[in-house]
Copies of this chain bind each other. A is one copy, B any other.
Amino acid sequence: MSLKESLKQQQQALLAALDAGQRERLDTLLPELRSADIAEIIEDILDEEDDLPVALELLHCLPLERRANVLTYLPDEEQLDIAESMSDSGLLSVLEEMGSDERADLFNLLGEDRRQLLLRRMARHEREDLKRLASYEEGTAGAIMTADYVAIPVGLTVSQAMMRVRQTAPDAETVYQLYIIDHEGRLAGTMSLRQLMVAPPGARIDALMIKDVISMVVTAPQEEVARVVARYDLLALPVVDAEQKLVGIVTHDDAMDVAESEATEDIHKGMSIGQLEGGVSRVPLWSLYRKRVTWLVLLVFANLFSGAGIAYFEETIAAQVALVFFLPLLIGSGGNAGAQAATLMVRGMATGDVGIKDWGKLLGRELLVAGSLGLTMALAVAPIGVMRGGEAVAMVVAMSMVIIVLFGSLLGMCLPFLLDRLGWDPATASAPLVTTLIDASGVLIYFSIATAVLTGL
Question: A-side interface residues toward B, CB under 8 Å?
Answer: 3, 32, 34, 36, 48, 165-166, 169-170, 175-176, 193-194, 197-198, 212, 214, 216, 228-235, 252-253, 255-257, 259-260, 263-264, 266-268, 270-273, 279-281, 285, 288-289, 292-293, 295-297, 299-301, 303-304, 306-307, 310-311, 314, 317-318, 321-322, 324-329, 331-333, 335-337, 339-340, 343-345, 347-348, 351, 353-354, 358, 361-362, 365, 368-369, 372-373, 376-377, 380-381, 384, 388, 431-432, 435-436, 439-440, 443
Contacts and interface: CB of A to CB of B under 8 A. Distances in A.
A328 B439 contact: yes
A397 B361 CA distance: 44
Pairs of residues from A and B, 10 with the lowest C-beta to C-beta distance, nearest first: A279-B353, A306-B328, A263-B263, A233-B253, A303-B329, A336-B432, A307-B325, A271-B343, A280-B344, A280-B348
Given A198-B169, A256-B229, A306-B328, A376 B297 contact: yes
Nearest to A291: B340
Contact of A339 (B314, B322, B358, B431): B431
A169 B268 CA distance: 43
A326 B340 contact: no
Given A252-B253, A300-B333, A212 B280 contact: no
Given A303-B332, A317-B324, 11 more contacts: A259-B260, A267-B347, A292-B337, A303-B328, A304-B384, A307-B326, A311-B325, A317-B321, A328-B443, A336-B432, A340-B432
Contacts of A296: 333, 336-337, 340, 373, 376-377
Contact of A351 (B194, B264, B327): B264
B332 A299 contact: yes
B36 A436 contact: no
B166 A197 contact: yes
Contacts of A368: 285
Majority SS at the chain A contact face: helix
A130 to B, nearest CB: 22
Most chain B CB atoms below 10 A, which of A165, A228, A431, A435 = A431
A265 to B, nearest CB: 10
Nearest to A349: B280
A12 to B, nearest CB: 13
Contacts of A280: 344-345, 347-348, 353-354, 362
Nearest to A39: B231
A1 to B, nearest CB: 11
A300 B264 contact: no
Contact of A281 (B3, B34, B354): B354
Contacts of A289: 369, 372-373
Contacts of A377: 296-297, 300
Contacts of A317: 321, 324
Nearest to A288: B369
